[in-house]
Amino acid sequence: MKDGEIITINVVGAGQWGPNLIRNFSTSPRSQVGMICDIDDKKLQSLSSRFPGVQLTGDPDRAINDPSADAVAITTPVSTHYELARSALLADKHVFVEKPLAQKVEQCLKLNELAQQRDRILMVGHVFKFNPGIQYVKTLLEEEDLGKVISIHAIRTNLGPVRTDVNALWDLGTHDLSIFNYWLSEQPSSVTASGLSYLSDQREDTVIANYIYSDQVMATIHVSWLHPRKVREITVVGSEKMLVWNDMDLSEPVRIYDKGVEQETDLYTDTFGAFRLILREGAVTIPRIRGAEPLSNECDHFLDCILNQKTPLTDGEDGLAVVRALAAADESIANQSRMVML
Ligand SMILES: NC(=O)c1ccc[n+]([C@@H]2O[C@H](COP(=O)([O-])OP(=O)(O)OC[C@H]3O[C@@H](n4cnc5c(N)ncnc54)[C@H](O)[C@@H]3O)[C@@H](O)[C@H]2O)c1
């Protein structure tokens, strides 16, 4: 496709999240939504007045194999991602898949292979890589503004929504893993995780996963669907400074704390090597962060990759790295929190 051409995208899955993608792709000057597909007719009908003129179908094969579509966006439950994405790639469509890419590492490998064979764009909805606050922190870390990163702690809790096909880590922790990998420019080397299945005996509704990255960075994720408050927060502790990113604070999402602990040689003892710990508490800086809606940046990036043959920032390899880390956490949970190497 050439720059200037309008990309036609068919969206499969019109539940809670799908309409957000439909809105973005239908308002972009570079794309239009050709067809919306959902196997639930009530969901489809509720969208007919909101997106007039867009074809509606309950048949995913029809939406995927539609000859007038250049791309397919998949926003269905995770358990359906692999089959739908595979069919779309086999139909020679560019494919956007919501996070996480698939339920198994092998499925991600196959999708990546297929995208390469068919020379199609495969992009995963790791939307936080398009979040201006997360991008700002990435710049700080690259400039070593916090010193050496020592630990990262992510909390993502709320009362529901409860999923039935994946556990809370696959649902919510996917975001944090994609952020950790992006910030640290690498993948974790091991994980120790534990989970609690209170709401059902099928899926863990609360998970705590402790990932170790090289250079001994400890990155912890605490996710839960069984929590009184909606929290979306990540704390980064560096050797020089610390910061908190709070996604619930739209106007001031990042706070940088000039705080740390330093070792100082104790002048009043003559013991060689004696030192004392000094707590340093400096100013709090709140940077001005402006930027477009992350989802709109993400959709725009997908279009840009199709039009200009670019590799997405959140390509299939990025999706694979996250699924590999999620699968390793599942293995640890299933084995009484045994450490699993990645
Ligand atoms: N990026 C984000 O911040 C974000 C937020 C929420 C959800 N998501 C992701 O979006 C996806 C959907 O989540 P949701 O909250 O909208 O779920 P949902 O259950 O509300 O909606 C899924 C929809 O898909 C439909 N569906 C199921 N199987 C289908 C099939 N084979 N063909 C066509 N339609 C089918 C269902 O009828 C339902 O309407 C998930 O992958 C989820 O992880 C991402």
Tens-place pLDDT, residues 185-198: 999 999 999 999 99
In ligand 1, the atom with minimum distance to the C-alpha of 78 is 41
Q: What is the pLDDT of residue 266?
A: 64
Q: What is the band of 42 on the pLDDT scale with cuts at 50, 70, 90?
A: very high
Digit-coded pLDDT (tens) for 227-252? 999 999 999 999 999 999 999 999 99
Cα–Cα distances in angstroms (integers) from residue 50 to residues 35, 60, 126, 271, in the given order: 13, 21, 26, 76
172: DSSP letter: I
Tell me the C-alpha distance between 52 and 69, whole Å: 18
Percent of the chain with pLDDT over 90: 88
Instruction: Over range 289-305, report the average pLDDT.
Output: 95
Do 291 and 297 touch, CB atoms closer than 8 A?
A: yes
Q: What is the pLDDT of residue 53?
A: 87
Do 173 and 204 touch, CB atoms closer than 8 A?
A: no
Closest CA to 302 of 290, 289, 313, 288: 313
Q: What is the band of 326 on the pLDDT scale with cuts at 50, 70, 90?
A: very high
Question: What domains lie within the chain, and their CATH numbers?
Answer: 7-128 (3.40.50.720), 132-293+325-341 (3.30.360.10)
Q: What is the pLDDT of residue 270?
A: 57
In ligand 1, the atom with minimum distance to the C-alpha of 161 is 15
201: DSSP letter: S
Q: What is the pLDDT of residue 4?
A: 76
Residue nearest atom 21 of ligand 1, based on CA coordinates: 15
**Ligand 1 near 77 CB (within 6 A):** yes
Three-class SS string for 107-155?
A: HHHHHHHHHHHHCCCEEEECHHHHCHHHHHHHHHHHCCCCCCEEEEEEE
Q: What is the pLDDT of residue 74?
A: 98
- Is the confidence at residue 263, as pLDDT, over 90? no
Q: What is the pLDDT of residue 291?
A: 84
Ranges of beta strands (E only) in the chain are 7-12, 31-37, 55-57, 71-74, 94-98, 122-125, 149-159, 190-196, 206-213, 217-224, 226-238, 242-246, 254-265, 275-285, 340-341
Q: What is the pLDDT of residue 271?
A: 62
Can you tell me which residue has the tokens 């000057």?
A: 29
In ligand 1, the atom with minimum distance to the C-alpha of 12 is 33
pTM for the predicted model, two decimal places: 0.96
Residue nearest atom 43 of ligand 1, based on CA coordinates: 99
Closest CA to 262 of 243, 240, 247: 240
Average of per-residue pLDDT values in the chain: 95
- Is the confidence at residue 69, as pLDDT, over 70? yes
Six token digits for residue 273: 């090597």
Digit-coded pLDDT (tens) for 101-143? 999 999 999 999 999 999 999 999 999 999 999 999 999 999 9
Q: Where are the alpha helices (DSSP H) in 121-252?
A: 132-142, 168, 174-184
Percent of the chain with pLDDT over 70: 96
Six token digits for residue 45: 């009908």
**Ligand 1 near 87 CB (within 6 A):** no
Instruction: Over range 156-163, report the average pLDDT.
Output: 94
**Ligand 1 near 38 CB (within 6 A):** yes
**Ligand 1 near 44 CB (within 6 A):** no
In ligand 1, the atom with minimum distance to the C-alpha of 38 is 34
- Is the confidence at residue 57, as pLDDT, over 70? yes
CA atoms within 13 A on the CB side of 302: 32
- Is the confidence at residue 80, as pLDDT, over 90? yes
Residue nearest atom 5 of ligand 1, based on CA coordinates: 17
Q: CB-based contacts of 281: which residues, under 8 Å, 6+ apart?
A: 258, 259
* CA quadruple 309, 313, 314, 315: dihedral sign: positive
- Is the confidence at residue 272, as pLDDT, over 70? no
